[in-house]
A and B are shown apart, each in its own frame.
Chain A
């Protein structure tokens, strides 16, 4: 069974640009959550989706948004990028048993 797949793995953007990251959950998982990981703040919850609906949202500005499609795939978008948005963005999927599995992440560098 394939794990959580995230694309792209690495990307570099310029301040003010926007970025879209993609996530394909484990087959059969209908829920997806997103996290930001930085050396200073650690792992922080961004938001989660179930059946195309956002269920929970973390304490991040409105520049961070996401969506989920009918096939459970998810995207997150960050607009008007700031240097502080440089981070590893992790997607996780989970099943009804609440076991949460993470992907390898997308490394975003903002210059």
Chain B
């Protein structure tokens, strides 16, 4: 079945540095790739998403890149701030018009002031 691998599991950066989280998916039919941020005690919050017909998408300090050939997508956060500290999840969907997502294992990002 579909599988999503996420690395690293933990990431510690200094405030102002960049952070990169990488995910690999197994099913080449996957066509939707969202990223979620989850703070302690809260539900996952969508921060950015990308579809298979786009290679890169940017929203202020956050960007996502997709390499369909390698079945790989990445989250880039620039100028990190302490409030970026959270658990980040990548996900993939193999079907259109579905709420079924396959999630990566999560990355705990710590931004040190």
Contact = CB atoms under 8 A, between A and B. Distances in A.
Interface of A: 4, 6, 31-33, 42-45, 48, 55-56, 58, 90, 92-94, 96, 98-105
B113 interface: no
B93 A48 contact: no
What 6 A-B pairs come out closest when comparing CB atoms? A33-B99, A43-B103, A102-B43, A48-B99, A104-B43, A102-B44
A56 B98 contact: yes
B42 interface: yes
A105 B96 contact: no
For the residues of A in contact with B, the DSSP-based class is strand
Interface residues of B, number: 24
Contact of B93 (A4, A6, A42, A98): A98
